[in-house]
Structure 1
């Protein structure tokens, strides 16, 4: 789940408003609204919280699954659904990456280091848990409804769990494969994919591992099937396959569950209201993001969207170049469902929409259901979001009643990583902002009664005790200009709005503390809105800690697989030297579309230590690392320092003899000669077609056949970027009669 490093100020079209519904969350990933008004929120670490309503400012911890959840990179607790019969059927479903090693131990929210998460990975499975929740919002029982999946690398894990109109539970998961190279199982094959047992590296053309697990439902009956890269349809009480599934006659219980496959990372999907349709956002690799349509999850037809053989409706160059039998047979059969809509990583979704292009990751899918106050043009619209770009768009309905790819408008921009979209109370669109820790609401200033908007300001917001703060709510307003709003303040942070009334207030804080003060405004019809402001009260004259990272410094450059030692320290006026158990580190990888247009993946946290080490991860270039040290003094004051760590890079040249051959490096094909910049020590795959037309003597296009790479590798093989510039040449010779 990628987050943009910097986004523009949030903006919505005229007439719309974007307001905080719930704040103060820690890396929220999903939201689900119960029929009785209860709001359930999942946090990536493994905690499910519940709120009695959107007006409830005090969360109840429904369940704490942190001991079971593998909260690492893009893994974690990512999916959440409430039974549509709630509370009569008091069930909440949580979908998460499961922290369990193949030997039965736990990874402990990390991966073996070395070799590191992007080298050989760390194998996990995933779980769908059925929680029984009592009237207080606490889970009293937990049942593992579904387990499995085989995921080697720290992204493309599980995603959405949702109920269909048929009462079935739909569950999606990614391929669990590498995001750095063409992965067909050549790094240990820990999942035991055909044709070799676990622990045996696979090779073309017969390999069926890595990303090719997304095509596992096509395997012969005597070979294993996985749920990776699929959406399954199961009974919400047993986890068994539902009747009418496409492979209901199979002897394989996993295959019986599958209704759609051939996806890289179907992180979010939604059921279109009043229909059996599923609309799926599938996160792409090098080229495109997809929105895929499953016409009917109950019709017994298995949709194959083609990954990894296809991406965005076109052949995926890395997997096509490897001449894998799984893909070649799919190309010849033509039995692939193309995307309903796809957008390029290198272009805007809507012209001049202003959304950053520092990578792309489609991260939310939802439909307007006819209950909002939005303008008529949005009736039945398909909303979708991109966490990397920080934007939400609306694909409005066309004349045929279907979402129209030619009529897309920007709804919201400047969002801190929108990772889930849901229609909630009032029919409005709500979104989960991962990076800002908020659930937010997009409303429209139309309809019979429009809710007010609270705006709370404070001056000052921090300082030593005693601290007198002046609060100002005069920026609050009601779009219905004839309505008079009332004001209620919670100034001591106890959750009760009973400390003051009126548009302004004053309060003196006498103890060192951090208080979330709130303003609740109401209109005459009872519609409310809440805004909060945080007040940090320090001990008298206690400055923040001074934080120093001693090593590494910004001159340091790393190579993949290198062990990097880090050390740091902090002091402040009161405590002197701050102890190591008050020092915390965070390592973040920034993945870039260009040198300065990046989004972030949190790799790992190191808690309560002044020193440590990590292995530099493998990744495509351009990318770099951020290492942040945060110190907390005895009064709870914090301060941080960050160092940027750039990689060592190398220019690799790719040529052919004769010149002009189409060669594939990583996931992209290009005509030789060309160069690529790689991080030293990184892994990529190179492929050369077995036959292609090349110019003889630079004049005549003649069929040639491949005879070898200059490094002696097979036609498709992995290379490790060397320390210094190198050339890889694909050699061809003229075909004779047998060619």
Structure 2
């Protein structure tokens, strides 16, 4: 018996691994094929996101275990959740919102299906027994990025009493693990759901036995209609609403993730095991044995604990996994998709991807023609703990890493990356929009071209065009950018532009920006929403509270309405502050966002006193009185307005007018004076002033000239031991018109000095600078700190850190930069941990000028003559004066024959049929330039074979003895050697003619020589004359009967359907209809029996149809005779 210390405490995998074990370590990701690359798509709260899926319009839905569903749209993770049901989701351990599926008709009906652990008491952390439910909500037709309020309907799991009684609509979660978690629609339109046994992971729990019961919904794959009823063709159907009727397969422990095969519709289930094995299972109506069996063996602990129950289940009744692995390989399997797109190379099509959460790798199952697992290949290692994988609509593989909260994407790196931004995205007509391709790049530094489709019938090929939209009515346009590299790899990105709608305005009225609070304080935030086109309700306002902690951010709170509040927490050492964001969204989706920061005082910071709460010692003012907590209105007291600097309002401060002189008695009681200063927004861009701070007659601060258009400045000066503070504002040497100046948020602090963030700006390169790849770009920055020192400056390309400097002058040289558009910034950190990010600088790296390569054919010579079937070696010379030749491609006309990447460049064209051909080669250099050689014309004459036209003959593959065919009196006599036509062997003698349409061949096999019991002769259709090409054939043997054989892919193995009773003479027939090849047999040539039909993917328009023989003994010839041969 195994030790339970080794049994997985990560029952499902997902949360218990971290919350109970905390053993996962992220390592660097590596792909077995270096052509693949992973990039970051979105970041959500750590340990929260557990699944993703795609809508028909390209939106990505991401769901979190705590019951929140997010939407990723046009490259942005939307702030407002699609749905928040966290109040009724129990999220203990493996519980939570684990499954989500979009209705096949989602584009029209908006239905979204959810599978989650139901919390009836409003306590998401209750560890008691719970139940699960399947529900449906509807997207709001007016705003499909959010769910319609009160639209949730329970589909399955109406009973909420745990443990569940038998034969009830109830899915139990008695333990906080093993809940299953996948919802998918099958090709048949039915909804499939995986449920776990709901039992404990720490001992032999008798509740796990319900996986074997057809009276329980636990431990199953369920198949239902969208109203929760059972389809009548389910394997155990005995009525519309019975539990048994809804079961598709059973005997699972925790089938957390499963896939639906995109062509066969099969359900491929990854079942997380217990003590020994992880499994992939397949089979309708099958019993997979848990808890009495695990992997391909009896589960010893459960067999010993429950001998009667497990003894009643014979091993012969249990379906073994199609693949399983032991815990030395991994301990928590996560099923992924069966790949069906074309973004990955062809070898990956039809493979099932899966990962292991514990071991942090991705592998793929490779299936043979019969659907059996033929190979298991490692795809990636060091991936982090994956909990969900999906194939995207772009053909990439998307996955979620639980411990980082990241949604990542794996693409084959031959494709470039497209990035798109538009400014603005909404406004009145006519609307001029500046589009940018910044961030678009190619992983191999190939040159990019740009094609913009603005969605209104116009296009552009500029990298960063400006386009003006006009519309008499409100209209939305989808602008699409397609980037293409020199290898014809493409990528696209879109953005939506709304015309005829002016954006709303968000205003935060409380708290003021820079408010200082201490742990335990309650902060109330309020705001207003306005719109020039409509009246907005409080529901148009959404708040997001972010906690900035050192160099990372925690989403903290999301609220809809005009106001909200939160309690300031104590996060100990480190620098942290709160950012309050208000987003106002109008009825047409236009948004406007404003934000303010609330600083958190450290525990040793004493009281803070606003100057407006003190009496000044003296005050003079240029116009009107000095105002407390108001701007200067020039006439009487309080005739100003709320203090506002650059769109940020302040509830506290002093409003003055130059020349102004305000003095306060300090008497040595304060440590620091701090304020935000600038010209008040009420005068627009007018005004010019200078702010100066004196203490005891000493100048401590001088702002320099500030205009109405100047950015707000923050000041913090040390006034320790000082007796008098003097605040002076002058007219900057001109007149005193419009000189409305604000000492905003002016305050005195005792105790520790408040830290003022550093300043930073990029000094090189300049905005819109251009370089030539591969570029070495020196990035320089100025950084300063008014109350400390700079500890480091980080340099970024987009969100990617590319370098760091810790000493002035701050610089970093970014080497070998490839062609593309890039956005640079710098981030400065001071010695107290405060950080400031600079403005961005956009640069372009152009592909270098490139001399085209040379290319010529050296053999064969022009007008050379060959005899079919010809083997023609084409030799070429190619060179590049300023680089190297990356590849040489060999063409017949426009048809690519082959490629060579190493000199001397050569390709042998085998089995060339009679005809005239025009040969060229194309040389491509390392920067994508292409040169095509002059044409070489050749002629291939038909052989003198004695066969009636259009029949031709040849050997295929590595035959030991050359074959031959003769024809006389309506009979073909074939003599051929060859090892076999089967599995990966393909060597035989073939008599053929081309067939460029649907058609068939009929023949009677009169005799086949018994050179081996598995010698074969018959009729064949194949995609080419090369060995190991895809084919189908009807072949008869001397003593092993008749078989229909096929090969799906080049160099794949063969499958077969046998008929053991057949002997010669025998009629055989092979029919082509598109990619479908059907084999028939007959004893009289009149009555035919269909043996098998197979679909051969990508079968070309012209195929080769004819007669075949192999001796199955490569050292000797086998003779086979045919008559009544007809191709029609």
Equivalent residue number for residue 579 of structure 1: 520
Q: TM-score, normalising length from structure 2?
A: 0.37
Q: Which residue of 1 aligns with 2:310?
A: 327
Match of 1:442 in 2: 410
Shift of 1:239: 0.6
Q: Unpaired runs of 5+ in structure 1?
A: 112-116, 185-209, 218-224, 297-301, 349-356, 456-472, 488-500, 503-519, 531-541, 543-573, 583-606, 612-626, 641-739
1:134-158 deviations in whole A, cap 9, x for unaligned?
3422221221111121121101013
Of the candidates 362, 375, 378, which is equivalent to residue 348 of structure 2? 378
Matched, 1:173 2:195: yes
Q: Distance in 1 between matches of 2:383 and 2:572?
A: 23
Tell me by how many angstroms 1:166 deviates.
0.7
Paired position in structure 2 for 1:368: 339
Match of 1:421 in 2: 389
**Which of the residues 45, 58, 66 maps onto 2:78?**
58
Q: Which of 217, 224, 241 in structure 2 is aligned with 1:227?
A: 217
1:98/1:126 contact within 8 Å kept:
yes
| Contact kept? 2:94, 2:178, Cα under 8 Å | yes
Maintained 8 Å contact 1:477/1:485: no
Partner of 1:143 in structure 2? 153
Greater share of residues in strand: 2
| CA distance 1:366–1:475, change in 2 (3 Å) | closer
1:276 to 255, 258, 265: 265
- 1:33 equivalenced with 2:54 (yes/no): yes
Structure-1 separation of matches of 2:295 and 2:327:
11
State the distance in 2 between where 1:637 and 1:412 align. 43
Aligned equivalents of 1:229 and 1:628: distance in 2? 45
Alpha-carbon displacement from aligned partner over 1:526-550 (angstroms, at most 9, x marks no partner): 62599xxxxxxxxxxx9xxxxxxxx
8 Å contact 1:393–1:411 — kept in the other structure? yes
Report matched runs for 1:584-599 at 5 Å: none
State the structure with more CA Rg. 2
Task: Give the TM-score taking structure 1 as reference length.
Answer: 0.55
Q: Distance in 1 between matches of 2:333 and 2:398?
A: 16
Q: CA deviation at 1:316?
A: 0.8
Match of 2:111 in 1: 91
Q: Which runs of 4+ in 1 moved over 3 A?
A: 399-403, 473-480, 484-487, 578-582, 607-611, 627-640
Q: 1:17 matched to which residue of 2?
A: 37
Match of 2:446 in 1: 481
Q: Secondary structure at the match of 2:243?
A: helix
CA shift, 1:636, in A, is: 6.4
- Structure-2 residue corresponding to 1:701: none
- CA drift of 1:412 comes to 2.3
Cα separation, partners in 2 of 1:134 and 1:325, compared to 1, 3 Å: same
| Closer, same or farther: CA 21–575 of 1 in aligned 2, 3 Å | closer
Q: Is the 8 A contact 2:229 2:241 kept in 1?
A: no
**8 A Cα contact 1:632 1:639, kept in partner:** no
What is the match of residue 157 of structure 1?
179
* 1:5 correspondence with 2:24: yes
Shift of 1:172: 0.8
The CA deviation string for residues 583-622 of structure 1, in whole angstroms up to 9 with x for no partner, is: xxxxxxxxxxxxxxxxxxxxxxxx98999xxxxxxxxxxx
1:452 touches 1:529 (CA, 8 Å); kept in 2?
no
SS of the residue 1:451 aligns to = coil
Shift of 1:631: 10
Q: Does structure 2 conserve the Cα–Cα contact (< 8 Å) formed by 1:173 and 1:229?
A: yes
Query: How far apart are residue 632 of structure 1 and its match?
Result: 6.0
SS of equivalent residue, structure 2 residue 245? helix
Deviations 1:613-665 (A, max 9, x none): xxxxxxxxxxxxxx99999667668999xxxxxxxxxxxxxxxxxxxxxxxxx
Give the drift of 1:59: 4.6
Unaligned runs of 5+ in 2: 1-13, 158-169, 421-437, 453-462, 465-479, 485-489, 496-513, 524-565, 579-596, 603-1128
SS of the residue aligned with 2:61? strand
Q: Do the aligned partners of 1:379 and 1:397 also contact (CA within 8 Å) in 2? A: no
CA distance in 2, matches of 1:270, 1:314: 24
Is 1:126 paired with 2:158? Answer: no
State whether residues 196 and 253 of structure 2, in contact with CA within 8 Å, keep that contact through their aligned partners in structure 1.
yes
1:285-296 counterparts in 2 under 5 A? Answer: 285-294=274-283, 296=284
Contact 1:383/1:394 (8 A) holds in 2: yes
Query: Which of 65, 71, 91 matches 1:44?
Result: 65
What root-mean-square deviation, in Å, do the aligned CA atoms of Structure 1 and Structure 2 show?
3.9
What does residue 657 of structure 1 align with?
Answer: none
Paired residue secondary structure (1:426): coil
User: Are 1:382 and 1:403, in contact at CA under 8 Å, matched by a contact in 2?
Assistant: no
Distance 1:266 1:636, change over 3 A: farther
Supply the distance in 1 between the matched residues of 2:491 and 2:280 (Cα, whole angstroms).
39
The secondary structure found in structure 1 opposite 2:86 is coil
Which one scores higher on RCO, CA 8 angstroms, separation ≥ 6?
A: 1
- Residue deviations 1:142-199 (CA, integer Å, cap 9, x gap): 2111112112110101300100111100011111111001111xxxxxxxxxxxxxxx
Distance 1:176 1:637, change over 3 A: farther
Query: CA separation in 2, counterparts of 1:306 and 1:248?
Result: 21
Aligned equivalents of 1:280, 1:638: Cα separation in 2: 50
CA contact (8 A) 1:25 1:437 kept: yes
Q: What is aligned with 2:1012? A: none
Cα distance in structure 2, aligned partners of 1:256 and 1:368: 31
Q: Distance in 1 between matches of 2:333 and 2:67?
A: 22
Question: In 2, Cα distance between the equivalents of 1:252 and 1:526?
Answer: 48
